[in-house]
Homo-oligomer: A and B are copies of this chain.
């Protein structure tokens, strides 16, 4: 039954949200602030701007601007103006910010459930849910926010990885991070 699947996903999402909420209040942050910080810990250096946070979380610019201000005041992020494009502000996690995330993420209860699954189920889930997400991204008109390495602009050269959209070299870690400019690569 399709509808039932939606219910199940929704309930899962609810429980995940609840677990995240516990983590955030334990660290003295509001839920949105935690979500924003989490995003910033997962995105690459082209995507750590207020507008990217805005699109990722599905909120408005003004709201996010305030959220960021609080995170800055609490010492979890710092603002750095972009050298080339002076409209842009980059948000870097301080070591406190990074530590806050790494001490509470990923959500332990959910991870333990995944751990219980057999390797084959895990692999299966990974495939199918990825597929689902990529189609869902296409169906909704939101930005994709996928991982760099799965992007059509991602290139491997003799000197390492590159982004062919932004014409920038990428180090290995970065190819695992999520990017605002992400565009789905066709599976061959």
Contact of A133 among B11, B19, B130, B131 (CB under 8 A): B11
User: In the bound complex, what is the Cα–Cα distance between A3 and B145 (angstroms)?
Assistant: 17
**B-facing residues in A1-60 (Cβ within 8 Å):** 1-19, 21, 42, 56-58
What is the count of identical protomers in the complex?
2
Contact of A136 among B56, B57, B109 (CB under 8 A): B109
Q: A113-145 interface mask toward B, CB cutoff 8 Å, 1 = contact, 0 = none?
A: 111110001101110111111011101101001
B58 touches A17 (CB 8 A): yes
Interface SS majority for chain A: helix
A113 touches B128 (CB 8 A): no
B14 touches A12 (CB 8 A): no
User: In the bound complex, what is the Cα–Cα distance between A5 and B137 (angstroms)?
Assistant: 16
**B-facing residues in A98-121 (Cβ within 8 Å):** 106-107, 109-117, 121
B57 touches A14 (CB 8 A): yes
Contacts of A124 in B (CB 8 A): 124, 128
B42 touches A140 (CB 8 A): no
Contacts of A10 in B (CB 8 A): 16
Given that A8-B133, A128-B125 are contacting pairs, would A115 and B2 also be in contact in the complex, using a CB cutoff of 8 Å? Answer: yes
Other A-B pairs beyond A5-B114, A7-B42, 7, CB < 8 Å: A1-B126, A109-B139, A110-B136, A113-B132, A113-B136, A117-B131, A124-B124
